[in-house]
Structure 1
Amino acid sequence: MANFNEQALTWLREHGLTILLILVVSVAAYYLLGMLTRTLSRRIQAMDGEEDSELDRRTKTIFRVVHSTGVVIIVSTAIMMILTELGVAITPVLASVGFVGLAFGLGAQTLVKDMIAGLFILIEDQYTVGDVAEIGGITGTVEHMTLRATELRDLYGTVHIIPNGEIRIVANKSRDWSRAIVDVSVTYEEDVDTAVKTLQEIGAAMAEHKMMGLLLQEPAVVTGVEGLEEWAVRLRIMVKTLPNAQWEVQRYLRRQIRLTFAEKGLSLAFPRQDVMIVGEPPQKSS
């Protein structure tokens, strides 16, 4: 028993303190990495003096990827050093990993492809955290991004995790500016010029609105008659907005169109069918 205690103390002196030091340094490196990334991110975001700007979103995205990659490096290095202190031969382990990696080379190719694609997404600034984008046929808000995958939350709250290597076409709906487009259908009995003038008045009033006016980048434009449908004349009003503001502007326009058209007695069209009964005998009067 005394011999065992002596051997344990000897092992603790020779290896235990080293392992403890490795753990302490790893934890310190983890927190230091977090502090550095947060501090640099805040300073870069403060350079333009704007909240939630394109620079802010891009900075957050890049530093999140840097932080997650740094954590992987710290943990991997700590594990390898601890295994060495425990007497585990690293060279055979690495050789076996290389053999397994060779055996599963096709699977590793997918991982490498995802990471390379993620790197190019960052370099080319295709999208950042907070952008609304259509990726792989799915539209939603980019919530998280790593070198391997992108997390996209759709309108219903579902989170889609898309490997970066599978992304072929990206439609960014938040880049620089957006456009609100509202189509209005009126009946053929209504005066088209009056309807167009009413839409122009609604667009001008929106620009003067204390809240909605801040979301616009250009005056609203009424393009005129965009289509002659079977049951309606289709008009269009559109306006250039701040990024991600198009949906709020469209909701405001639809509400104002409904209220203003009702005030002026202009009828909005709706699908209808006219049924004609042919060959029915005339009714005899009693």
Structure 2
Amino acid sequence: MICGPLVDWLNNASWAPLLASVITIALILVFGFIVRNVAHRVITKVVNRAATGGSLASRFRRGTATDGIDALLHERRKQRAETMGSVLKHVASIVILGTAVLTVLDRLTIPIAPLLTSVGILGVAIGFGAQELVKDFIAGMFMLLEDQYGVGDVIDAGAAVGTVEAVTLRVTRLRDADGRVWYVRNGTITRVGNESQGWSRAYFDVPVAYDADITAVRAVLEIVAEEIWADPEYRESVIVEQPQVYGVEQLSDSALVFRITAKTLPSRQAEVAREIRLRVKSALDAAGIPMVALA
């Protein structure tokens, strides 16, 4: 469609077909790069829109621990969107530029059918030889799409337990409590326990003697729960809901066990549990109610 008019425009010179082919190939390549750049810009806009979409909770609840949860969810959404955007850009580049290259080869009268057949056979051979790699990539894709975990989460991946430092389509990098770094292939993760997604729960079991006044013990624990909920240091930045005092959670050979719990921001349960232990011990001592050891 392009070569004919160009040859006529060049007055059918002997070198006109060659020049026309060169110009046509250049136009195909330029058009391919333009389409690629447009596709990348569209993907970037979609990714930015998905990454910056705010939640309704962050618009109407301010100054509470809910804002912290919204910030964490926003960061997770941003990381997932950026990773998927990177994958889509690579796929778009391969498809668009690959099509442009095949079109150029066809314009040069190079038969592309044997080339496609060879590429297909090579792809099958590579697929058989790189099954584990393909498995890792597919698992990584689903992991990102389903938002199973993200950077900063504390997870139990079976092979290792630790804080997620990096997530790619092939591997997940964890750092355990001892500082050891683990590289876990996504295809080998058969189950994931996420300890810091959405919210966490701190709890403390309080064992008291059988002859202790149950009503008095419960009243002391409820006072502790109200005090820690009223403390701005915890209510505004750590604890999500008012702590709850359960009844007798357990009966052992030597004690009655009460339980006090608090819903917290992700990965903040240990901090809150330590504060609950301290306050419960002080409150029971002040009330003259001794704690006993479990048998």
TM-score category by the smaller chain? 0.5 to 0.7
Work out the number of aligned pairs and report it: 260
SS in 2 for 1:140: strand
Matched, 1:228 2:252: yes
Closer, same or farther: CA 58–247 of 1 in aligned 2, 3 Å: same
Alpha-carbon shift at residue 111 of structure 1 (Å): 1.0
Alignment of 1:99-248 (within 5 A): 105-136=127-158, 138-186=160-208, 188=209, 191-193=212-214, 194-214=216-236, 215-230=239-254, 232-248=255-271
| Equivalent residue number for residue 261 of structure 1 | 284
Alpha-carbon shift at residue 139 of structure 1 (Å): 3.3
| Equivalent residue number for residue 78 of structure 2 | 60
Q: Report the TM-score, using the length of structure 2 for normalisation.
A: 0.62
Letter in 2 for 1:270: A
Closer, same or farther: CA 55–180 of 1 in aligned 2, 3 Å: closer
Matched, 1:43 2:67: no
SS in 2 for 1:176: coil
Give % identity.
33
Residues 133 and 171, structure 1, Cα contact 8 Å, conserved in 2: yes
Structure 2, unpaired ranges of 5+ = 1-33, 60-66, 101-113
Alignment of 1:269-280 (within 5 A): 269-270=292-293
SS in 1 for 2:270: helix
Closer, same or farther: CA 104–195 of 1 in aligned 2, 3 Å: same
Whose relative contact order is higher, 1 or 2, with alpha carbons under 8 Å and at least 6 apart?
A: 2
Using the alignment, how far apart are the partners of 1:137 and 1:195 within structure 2?
A: 42
Using the alignment, how far apart are the partners of 1:192 and 1:225 within structure 2?
A: 15
SS in 2 for 1:211: helix
Letter in 1 for 2:83: V
Range with greater deviation from structure 2 (206-215 or 218-227)? 218-227
Closer, same or farther: CA 146–93 of 1 in aligned 2, 3 Å: farther
Using the alignment, how far apart are the partners of 2:229 and 2:56 within structure 1?
A: 30
Letter in 1 for 2:81: F
Alpha-carbon shift at residue 191 of structure 1 (Å): 0.7
SS in 1 for 2:53: helix
Alpha-carbon shift at residue 43 of structure 1 (Å): 3.4
Alignment of 1:24-39 (within 5 A): none
Hey, which bits of structure 1, 4+ residues long, moved more than 6 A?
A: 35-38, 70-77, 92-101
Closer, same or farther: CA 238–129 of 1 in aligned 2, 3 Å: same
Alpha-carbon shift at residue 201 of structure 1 (Å): 1.6
Closer, same or farther: CA 32–195 of 1 in aligned 2, 3 Å: same
Using the alignment, how far apart are the partners of 1:45 and 1:142 within structure 2?
A: 24
Closer, same or farther: CA 148–37 of 1 in aligned 2, 3 Å: farther
Closer, same or farther: CA 207–171 of 1 in aligned 2, 3 Å: same
Residues 52 and 78, structure 2, Cα contact 8 Å, conserved in 1: no
Letter in 2 for 1:227: L
Residues 200 and 265, structure 2, Cα contact 8 Å, conserved in 1: yes
Letter in 1 for 2:173: E
For 1:231-271, what per-residue CA distance to the aligned partner results, in whole angstroms no more than 9, with x for missing partners? x4322112333333322221110111122222223222236
Alpha-carbon shift at residue 182 of structure 1 (Å): 0.9
Closer, same or farther: CA 93–47 of 1 in aligned 2, 3 Å: farther
Using the alignment, how far apart are the partners of 2:116 and 2:133 within structure 1?
A: 19
